[in-house]
Amino acid sequence: MSKAVILLSGGLDSSTTLYHAAFRGHDCHCLIFDYGQRHKKEIIQAKAIAQSRGCQSVCVKISLPWKGSALLDFKMAVPQNRALDARGVPVTYVPARNIIFLSFAASYAEAIGARSIFIGANAVDYSGYPDCRPEFIRAFQAMLKRGLKSSLEGKNIKVCTPLIHLSKAQIVKLAVKLEVPLELTWSCYNAGAAPCGTCDSCRLRAQGFAQAKIVDSALKAYC
Amino acid sequence: MSKAVILLSGGLDSSTTLYHAAFRGHDCHCLIFDYGQRHKKEIIQAKAIAQSRGCQSVCVKISLPWKGSALLDFKMAVPQNRALDARGVPVTYVPARNIIFLSFAASYAEAIGARSIFIGANAVDYSGYPDCRPEFIRAFQAMLKRGLKSSLEGKNIKVCTPLIHLSKAQIVKLAVKLEVPLELTWSCYNAGAAPCGTCDSCRLRAQGFAQAKIVDSALKAYC
């Protein structure tokens, strides 16, 4: 089994990515971040999801004291019922978040001898974050090739994005096929007892389930 | 004055880089890392150096629990008196360290509206770390162009490496010219009361001062 590092946030996309990588036979090492986000719920759920697949996880605590995002600065409001096809990058964008997350993943992968990093980035039904797009992933991959010792030794670490070209409905169907415990996943940006249903993340998820004609078991679990 | 983020470790190179950026008229925001390195001395010195130039600094604490380096794993020995022209990457290499540091710098820069990041990377008299080479910096720059919101808005953040092609002797001369308080800088990998004199970092520094025919005032300050 080849080792892989999986970026796991506890949401639908990263959980499906973990189950996909495990299904493909990887020995999955999950990397979870406590980065000052609005709530710890997604961290708790991420750990539970890793455990559900029998994978080990490590949670790294980091701080971004400069904030610059509604997910970090609690004085800023998370947009509600924003048009999902709105242009521009929303205020929930966290400066360089995926760049930082992938950088830690590269460090972890190199230290344990993993040759793959999996990230659930998606560029179809998404919020327009620049660090979810294929051109960013390609550029990050090229950068790793120049910056890691393992690359000098001819052992490149590959960044895998199995969901990048899927619609949210296709991701939902894949999750069901892979038996992802959907009731454990948490996508909402807010910290309520149940998902708010109005943030971008809740609405993209709901749209995906509706288009896939599948009932979201998480809604039943939390509500 | 244009804002710039300066990666500051408290060593000779990053301190000279800070003084260079400030001399060039930048409003310098120093970024210091507490990343589990062998000692806190360089962090204390980095803060003092930022203060000496009248710049603000922020120290970000991160952990790399997978270690993978003699600078993080205290069971591993820091090489002593290693041939400075030895081939290969030494065990003091920290997986993806500069990738992680530059990622945080990009986040900080974007959040405060800085258009430049300065890093004291040097590819002449150095330890062979892959993430100090010009080809890495170029690839990192290209990656930022694809991954940041500010780039989408036509405001690219530039990674500046004023020392990258200088010898250590040239860096020493530049530091003196810029009136860097050399007695505050700390380059040693170890945690003694005075620099060990035998680690790669001490020896590269000593070689630079010797070749520049300048006395290292830090040695007098600490010994």
Under an 8 A CB cutoff, do B146 and A152 touch?
A: no
Residue A160: strand pairing partners:
A118
CA distance B28 to chain A (A): 15
Residues in A closer than 8 angstroms to B98, CB to CB, are 147
The range of the structural domain enclosing residue A175 comes to: 3-222
CA distance A181 to chain B (A): 28
CATH number at residue A89: 3.40.50.620
- Determine which of A158-162, A175-179, A191-195, A206-210 has the lowest per-residue pLDDT on average: A191-195
pLDDT tens for residues A49-104?
999 999 999 999 999 999 999 999 989 999 999 888 887 899 999 999 999 999 99
Under an 8 A CB cutoff, do B100 and A104 touch?
A: yes
Tokens of A147: 């910056």
CA B189 to chain centre: 13
Domain count for chain B: 1
Residues in B closer than 8 angstroms to A99, CB to CB, are 103, 106-107, 143-144, 147-148
pLDDT tens for residues A105-148?
999 999 999 999 999 999 988 888 999 999 999 999 999 999 99
d(CA A212, CA A208): 6
Q: Is A16 left (phi over 0), alpha (psi -120 to 50) or beta?
A: alpha
Residue B170 has pLDDT above 90, yes or no: yes
Nearest CA in chain B to A93: B149
Nearest CA in chain B to A135: B146
CA distance A81 to chain B (A): 22
Residue B126 has pLDDT above 90, yes or no: no
Q: What would the 3-class secondary structure string for B146-203 be?
A: HHCHHHHCCCCCEEECCCCCCCHHHHHHHHHHCCCCHHHCCCCCCCCCCCCCCCHHHH
pLDDT tens for residues A137-176?
999 999 999 999 999 999 999 999 999 999 999 999 999 9
Cβ within 8 Å of B, A 83-102:
89, 93-100
CA distance A84 to chain B (A): 18
pTM: 0.96
On whether any CB of chain B is under 8 Å from the CB of A142, the answer is yes
Task: Indicate the pLDDT class of residue B4, thresholds 50, 70 and 90.
Answer: very high
